[in-house]
A = this chain, B = another copy of it.
Amino acid sequence: MKRAQIPEHLIDVAAALFNRLGYRAAGVDQVIAEAGIAKTTLYRHFKSKEDLIVAVLRRIDEHYRSEMRQAVDSLGLEGKPRLLATFDFLEGWFASEAFYGCPFICAAGEYCERSSAIFQESVMHKRLMVAYFEELARAASFDDPRRIADEINLLHEGATAVAHITGDPGAARKAKSAAARLMED
């Protein structure tokens, strides 16, 4: 492996591991074993496990939002259907093997202090998600794009939690149908 790829590879491996086992349950020894790098190398790139977790969350945030944008844009829809398409993206995620609930909710649950960098990373991600929904709602010419964005967000979070616990990706479709009716008025 090229040296320049190490940090990214490390983050990818760590993300998968934290996601699958939990942030506290997965140790740095497991991360380096799976990544095939030395512990010294990990600690050269990240000053602590917490630092690594923050990097992981930041990467997941970027990846998640850009993937969602791309999925939504690729359908060439406008207005309400564009907003509703975000739920189709959700369903694909829920059905994937790598789905173990929202990584940010899980991380915030494990690092409970609001002041922790990990919790704050989750706060930031959720803010950006609502901002995206508001952008879509504004483009769809809703009277109150803020309210629509909040409601889409509630349904996204709800669907994610429900799919996590029940294991049923269909939660996304139910949320989509609810969202469609909320946008009718």
Contact A126 B165 (CB under 8 A): yes
Whether, in the assembled complex, A155 has its beta carbon less than 8 Å from a beta carbon of chain B, the answer is yes
Whether, in the assembled complex, A104 has its beta carbon less than 8 Å from a beta carbon of chain B, the answer is yes
In whole angstroms, how far apart are the Cα atoms of A167 and B112 in the complex? Answer: 12
Map CB proximity to B onto A152-185 as digits: 1 under 8 Å, 0 otherwise: 0111111111101111000100110010011001
A residues 97-148 in Cβ contact with B at 8 Å: 100-102, 104-106, 108-112, 114, 122-123, 126, 147
Contact B22 A110 (CB under 8 A): yes
Contact B112 A109 (CB under 8 A): no
Residues of B contacting A167 with CB < 8 Å?
114
Residues of B contacting A174 with CB < 8 Å?
147, 150-151, 154
Q: Number of A residues contacting the other chain (C-beta, 8 Å)?
A: 44
Complex: chain B residue closest to A22, CB-CB: B110
Residues of B contacting A106 with CB < 8 Å?
106, 109-110
Contact A161 B101 (CB under 8 A): no
In whole angstroms, how far apart are the Cα atoms of A112 and B175 in the complex? Answer: 24
Contact A185 B181 (CB under 8 A): yes
Whether, in the assembled complex, A24 has its beta carbon less than 8 Å from a beta carbon of chain B, the answer is yes
Chain A residues with a Cβ under 8 A of chain B: 20-22, 24-25, 100-102, 104-106, 108-112, 114, 122-123, 126, 147, 150-151, 153-162, 164-167, 171, 174-175, 178, 181-182, 185
